[in-house]
Amino acid sequence: MVVNLVKGIIIVFPTGLGLVGNIFVLVHYICIFQGSEKKPIHLILIHLAFTNIITLFSRGMPRTVAAFALMNFLYDVGCKILGYLERVARGLSICTTSLLTVVQAITISPRAPRWRRLKPRSAWHVLPLFLFFWMLNSLISMNLLFYIKSINSMNTSQNIRRDNYCYFQPHNWIIRWIFTGLMVFRDAVFQGVMGGASGHMVCLLHKHHQHVLHLQTSKLLHRTPPEVKASQSVLLLMLCFLFFYWTDCFLTLHLNFSLHKDSLTEITQETVTLGYAIVSPFVLIYRDGHLVECSFKISGNIHDFTKMIKKTFYIAQENHYKKT
């Protein structure tokens, strides 16, 4: 019971923090996108934040309910929907991060004809790619709609993990391995594209750094162009994604092949699975100066609003005392 309580607290706090961060990033970039400046990268970041929100909601909520041993409200339909959304959002996260890396690499590339043909002419040209990502990941995750069930419908003789209210029970192992192979192939392709685009960006940033050092101008040395800052932010996001992705893979393999279940490893694996969705908005907030200014303005407005409420309360209290 104590272990489940600790696990619930550990999962609830970062999940809530990640939801707040992603909602803040989502609203901020939607406001920017509604303005005159409509860049493809802004629309990609909106989609990434939306995907992170789905991930945190679909995976964090059932784990929290199970950890706190609350009443099981997830029946077969609820388990199928949340499990399906979780798997689709995981694939969308890989695809969107890969697209973000490629678009940024094309943006900072020299104005060669081959790069000009690949660059999206407007922000709306990335919408067909989002549609393709949703269709691809929806089809790859289709088997979950048939094999995920609620613990309420299981037989008492079935041996499954009791720390969750949903479980996966494949009736056909061939179908399971086919879908697993498709997911591995998808991850390998998009991570390969991500790695190639990131390597290209690193080369371009290195050439830019060498060019700035060659100029030997103090003002230029301390002035970072917006494209370079955006590229550094995308590279940092890519490194965060790879770190959480492979750490999750190793911990999952360790738990599946381990004879003794370690509670600490299970808690770590649950947190790492949500790690990219939690950390990525704060990477953007830290790297984007506009987001930092916006956050300070919001906190300042909240502080002013709190002071106004306190002042109104004191005035009303004084008027009450004068009347009495």
Distance separating alpha carbons of residues 20 and 277, to the nearest angstrom: 11
CATH number at residue 216: 1.20.1070.10
300 and 189 housed in the same domain? no
**pLDDT at 29 exceeding the cut of 80:** yes
**Segment 209-236 mean pLDDT:** 65
Helix 76-107 with 40-55: angle, nearest 10 deg = 150
Rounded to the nearest integer, the mean pLDDT of the chain is 76
216 phi-psi bin (left φ>0, alpha ψ -120 to 50, beta other)? left
314 and 277 housed in the same domain? no
User: According to the model, what pLDDT value does residue 299 have?
Assistant: 47
**pLDDT at 142 exceeding the cut of 80:** yes
User: According to the model, what pLDDT value does residue 81 have?
Assistant: 85
147 and 251 housed in the same domain? yes
29 and 155 housed in the same domain? yes
283 and 178 housed in the same domain? yes
186 and 315 housed in the same domain? no
Per the structure, the count of domains in the chain is 2
User: According to the model, what pLDDT value does residue 100 have?
Assistant: 92
319 and 256 housed in the same domain? no
User: According to the model, what pLDDT value does residue 115 have?
Assistant: 60
Name 55's Cβ contacts closer than 8 Å, sequence gap at least 6. 86, 89, 90, 93, 274, 277
**Segment 257-263 mean pLDDT:** 72
Cβ distance 119 to 176 under 8 Å? Answer: no
Name 133's Cβ contacts closer than 8 Å, sequence gap at least 6. 91, 92, 95, 96, 99
Assigned token pair, 31: 């406001």
56 and 135 housed in the same domain? yes
The 10s digit of each residue's pLDDT in 69-106 is 555 556 777 788 888 999 999 999 999 999 999 988 88
204 and 319 housed in the same domain? no
Confidence of residue 269 (pLDDT cuts 50, 70, 90): confident
**pLDDT at 135 exceeding the cut of 90:** yes
**pLDDT at 230 exceeding the cut of 90:** no
Cβ distance 52 to 18 under 8 Å? Answer: yes
For the chain, the three-class secondary structure string (H helix, E strand, C coil) is CHHHHHHHHHHHHHHHHHHHHHHHHHHHHHHHHCCCCCCHHHHHHHHHHHHHHHHHHHHHHHHHHHHCCCCCCCCHHHHHHHHHHHHHHHHHHHHHHHHHHHHHHHHCCCCCHHHHHHCCCCHHHHHHHHHHHHHHHHHHCCCHHHHEEEHHHCCCCCCCCCCCCEEECCCCHHHHHHHHHHHHHHHHHHHHHHHHHHHHHHHHHHHHHHHHHHHCCHHHHCCCCHHHHHHHHHHHHHHHHHHHHHHHHHHHHHHHHCCCCCHHHHHHHHHHHCHHHHHHHHHHHHHCHHHHHHHHHHHHHHHHHHHHHHHHHHHHHHHHHHHC
- Which range is most confident: 134-148, 152-166, 281-295, 307-321? 134-148
User: According to the model, what pLDDT value does residue 301 have?
Assistant: 45
**Segment 150-154 mean pLDDT:** 65
Who has greater pLDDT, 293 or 157? Answer: 293
Distance separating alpha carbons of residues 174 and 9, to the nearest angstrom: 38
**pLDDT at 156 exceeding the cut of 50:** no
**pLDDT at 217 exceeding the cut of 80:** no
214 and 320 housed in the same domain? no
Domain that holds residue 107: 2-287
Amino acid at 129: L
% of the chain residues with pLDDT over 90: 25
The 10s digit of each residue's pLDDT in 297-312 is 444 444 444 455 445 5
Q: Give the pTM.
A: 0.81
228 and 194 housed in the same domain? yes
184 and 202 housed in the same domain? yes
Assigned token pair, 274: 């949500």
